[in-house]
Amino acid sequence: MPGYAWVLEVRPGYEVEYLKRHDEIWPEMLETLRAAGIRNYNIFRHGLTLFGFFETDDLEATKAYLRTSEVDKRWGEWMAPIMKIEIDPTTNYPYLLPKQFYMA
């Protein structure tokens, strides 16, 4: 299954709040991610930098599903004040990182 990664940032002073919100992630947000085809989703933090990795069979279908999701929209609005997110203007989605190495 193809994997994808992104890098975002937590705004200074919101590190604990970011963790709290993910510790208490809405059940409907988890359902939305699964319905979008996302699996094996992990987020790591180093200082203010967040590194996310997820797998999906069809990235375009996943992005299309999330674009129409009211739950994803509410989650994004709720998280926006505590995060810095760079959106790729060509995809209207956070920048995805190009894979540099893979070991099975």
Give the residue numbers marked as catalytic.
22
3-class DSSP assignment, residue 57: coil
CA separation for the pair 93, 85 (Å, rounded) = 10
Q: What is the DSSP letter of 96?
A: B
Q: Residue 87: beta bridge partners?
A: 94
